Amino acid sequence: MSSPTDLTAPVAPSAGELPDGAEPFGLGSSAPRSDALPKALGIYPYAADLWAEGLLWGAVLRSPHPYARIVSIDTSAALALPGVHAVITAADLPPGPEGTPEVAPDGRGSADRPVLASGVVRHHGEPIAAVAADHPDTARLAAASIVVEYEPLEPVTDPEQSFNVPPLHPDGNLFRHLPLRAGDPEAVGEVIVEGLYQVGRQDPAPIGAEAGLAVPRPDGGVELHLSSTDPHGDRDRTAASLGLDPDRVRLVVTGVPGATADREDRSFQVTLALLALRTGRPVKMTLTREESFQTHTSRHPALLRYRHHADAEGRLVKVEAQILLDGGAYAEVSAEALAAAAAFSVGPYVCPNVFVDAWAVRTNNPPAGRMRGEGALQTCFAYESQLDQLAVQLGIDPVEVRRRNALATGDPMPTGQAVTCPAPVAVLLDAVSTAPLPPLPLDDPDSEWLLPGGPGGAGDPAAVRRGIGYAVGMVHMLGAEGEDEVSTATVRVSGDHATVICAAVDSGQGFATLARQIVQSVLGVSEVYIAPADSDQASAGPSARGRHTWVSGGAVERAALMVRHQLLQPIAANFGMSVELLTIADGKITSYDGVLGMPVTEALEGKELWATAQCRPHPTEPLDEAGQGDAFVSIAFCAMRAVVDVDIELGAVRVVEMTVAQDVGRALNPRQIEDRIEAGVAQGVGLALLEDLRTEGGRLVNPSLTGYRLPTALDTPEVRIAALIEDRDVVATFGAKAVSAVPAVVAPAAVAAAVRAATGLPVGRLPILPEDATVG
């Protein structure tokens, strides 16, 4: 049998291997992803595919209650089953900082979430015990045979109730309160519009459910094979929970089957590792789809109250808002999401007076966490809805009211931070508003499928109304409020090929392809191999907020430039010139005067060069008690136009087209940028019309891919890229900005605006239900 370590990730082919022989090369080209073909063929290895000699299977017992006191746990029946090798509960974990196994140090968000529930369960599906057995069916049967006596408690499921009920956790019910105060509280506009908005619980719903393999090590440590997006953070959290030194836990990253949010949580990792340590054998665990919905975090549901003041010309005078995020049972990254929600509560617009109160609270709902554009998406829906309402009240075109208030470089945000990066908001608006509109559906049987509801599902075609809506949004890149962002990379060159060693996980955003292009551009080497990521490498941090393009890409570039200097320095000395007078382009080293022209492969012959470098962007600071401070490194912007057809009798909505203009800084790989925009749009359309992880009394009612509706190919609209604005951010690596999150932030607001335009109805919640789009 092969060892688990041999099954981590496929060997990447050289950059630019295309069936027709074409070879896109370096930054600015549309180099294809090296993992695209194996994924399309179904041969790309994921954690669920791993195997090891002597393998045991893990299973978890989860709470059927959203809130209950644990009176007793009896594991004797499980232990008596033939084939069961271990049963663990919270009592088997080392004590945490408070003397109980309740908590352990956690570098991501707060550490208030136990690995296994002890004393109290606080959400439906919370893990209580785990089993290792020699067959997956035996493991599941053993987990089901564990007898737990509960004392059910009344769950708190309404976040507004959290302020007035006894604490659900020793840390209390308030994760964070963030007031934002800017300008004159007495300012009043000539026109005032108000609104109440709700955003539901969107789940990342990764195609591949959580899975992993743990292998005990001879030194008493453990090796974990997981589709982690933060290998060093996950290693450190696992080690702390197990009472081990970090160097006794190794985390090897397997293929990541979808990750628009955090993946395997600490409970999964620690439980898997502890079962392997207890049994002394490899243990594999693969969650069911229902368990997957129960265990990973989802988007924060939100309740938002807004009041906009404007003058007679539609220019904003004051914005007042109350923002409430439901963080669920545990803190996770609720404080971070709240900072984004409050700071971006006005959107990409100038307003001299802003007064916001934002809260993130604990409930007995499923935990909420990181997901594309956390915090920014919820407020985008609200402030864009407000601007639509303002445009109607003043009789101004919705694009024009946005243009009159558009943020530009140098303008202050409500936090007092000046926007120093490119902020082409007006340019983006112009691009989407002037793009050609799609044709109206033809009135013939062949185009019946174009109507809302599809063939046989549409009502009277005369009841279909077309709507056009606009939205603009923004997201921050990298960590915020003083978070230290750093990544490390090593570049080795030997002969005619290079290797990049960097623990930045390619979770679908295309970092591996980008790293290959960087080395190609700097060193002129076409054969570039990206080493699989694991925690033995230097840390690169989590895959979130577009940070790997900037921070890890910057580390790769710096390491490659150091190798470049090592390569060119002796050549320059030979010719009596400085290194700066030599260039590398198209695989050739050339001097400024044309005297030297040497292939890079010739210069590298017999040499082995390497360098390690770090990239750390400029520091930020926490927001103060008035919500003021330079909290963000940089910001990305996007504008969209949505075109929808609505059957106003049935409330059925079809998104016809989404037109996108995006601020990308520099297009490092145009094809990948387009792919990421299309993916973000699809996710945003899903929230706008379909996706809602529903609960009743704190219990999940649709934890399956049948009950939780994801957009299919027929639900996903045509995406037109009207413009990719390449106005480089001078402080960013290559001048580029992150592209994945901001389309997902803006798309729901644009679709809502279009439905509002088609129906004349207010549309104040996401997802938009049929009754929200039915007239009469």
State pLDDT tens for residues 614-628. 999 999 999 999 999
Q: How confident is the model at residue 448 (pLDDT cuts 50, 70, 90)?
A: low
How many Å apart are CA 114 and CA 126, to the nearest integer?
Answer: 9
Q: How confident is the model at residue 259 (pLDDT cuts 50, 70, 90)?
A: confident
How many Å apart are CA 35 and CA 23, to the nearest integer?
Answer: 16
Alpha carbon 81 to chain centroid, angstroms? 41
Encode pLDDT of 64-88 as tens digits.
Answer: 999 999 999 999 999 999 999 999 9
656, 718 Cβ separation under 8 angstroms: yes
What one-letter code names the amino acid at 176? R
Encode pLDDT of 230-246 as tens digits.
Answer: 999 999 999 999 999 99
When pLDDT is averaged across residues 507-531 and rounded to a whole number, the result is: 91
497: number of Cβ within 10 Å:
16
Question: Higher model confidence: residue 7 or residue 335?
Answer: 335
Percent of the chain predicted with pLDDT > 90: 74
Mean pLDDT value across the chain: 90
pLDDT of residue 35: 85
What one-letter code names the amino acid at 99? G
What one-letter code names the amino acid at 503? A
Q: How confident is the model at residue 470 (pLDDT cuts 50, 70, 90)?
A: very high
Q: How confident is the model at residue 482 (pLDDT cuts 50, 70, 90)?
A: confident
The Cα-based distances of 258 to 45, 206, 261, 402 in angstroms read: 13, 5, 9, 35
pLDDT of residue 107: 35
When pLDDT is averaged across residues 277-284 and rounded to a whole number, the result is: 97
Q: Which of 32-36, 103-107, 111-115, 399-403 has the highest mean pLDDT?
A: 399-403
When pLDDT is averaged across residues 543-572 and rounded to a whole number, the result is: 91
Encode pLDDT of 692-736 as tens digits.
Answer: 999 999 999 999 999 999 999 888 999 999 999 999 998 899 999
How many Å apart are CA 450 and CA 644, to the nearest integer?
Answer: 11
Specify which residues 493 forms β-bridges with: 498, 609
The closest alpha carbon to 745, from 636, 644, 634, belongs to 636
Phi-psi region of 767 (alpha: psi -120 to 50; beta: other; left: phi over 0): beta
Range in 2-16, 21-35, 101-115, 175-189 with the lowest mean pLDDT: 2-16
Outline where DSSP puts E strands in 570-651: 582-585, 588-591, 597-599, 608-615, 632-647
pLDDT of residue 101: 44
Question: Higher model confidence: residue 130 or residue 449?
Answer: 130
pLDDT of residue 454: 65
When pLDDT is averaged across residues 308-315 and rounded to a whole number, the result is: 97
The Cα-based distances of 190 to 311, 315, 405 in angstroms read: 5, 10, 16
Percent of the chain predicted with pLDDT > 70: 93
pLDDT of residue 292: 92
Give φ, ψ of 3 to 5 degrees: -75, 155
Q: How confident is the model at residue 264 (pLDDT cuts 50, 70, 90)?
A: low
How many Å apart are CA 749 and CA 432, to the nearest integer?
Answer: 15
Alpha carbon 368 to chain centroid, angstroms? 13
Encode pLDDT of 144-194 as tens digits.
Answer: 999 999 999 999 999 999 999 999 999 999 999 999 999 999 999 999 999
Query: What length is written for the chain?
Result: 776
The closest alpha carbon to 662, from 717, 748, 727, belongs to 727
The Cα-based distances of 39 to 31, 45, 46 in angstroms read: 17, 9, 10
How many Å apart are CA 73 and CA 125, to the nearest integer?
Answer: 16
pLDDT at residue 612 above 90?
Answer: yes
pLDDT at residue 437 above 60?
Answer: yes
Model pTM greater than 0.85? yes
When pLDDT is averaged across residues 395-421 and rounded to a whole number, the result is: 97
How many Å apart are CA 310 and CA 314, to the nearest integer?
Answer: 5
Collapsing DSSP to helix, strand or coil, 428 comes out as helix
pLDDT at residue 414 above 90?
Answer: yes
pLDDT at residue 507 above 90?
Answer: no
pLDDT of residue 599: 87
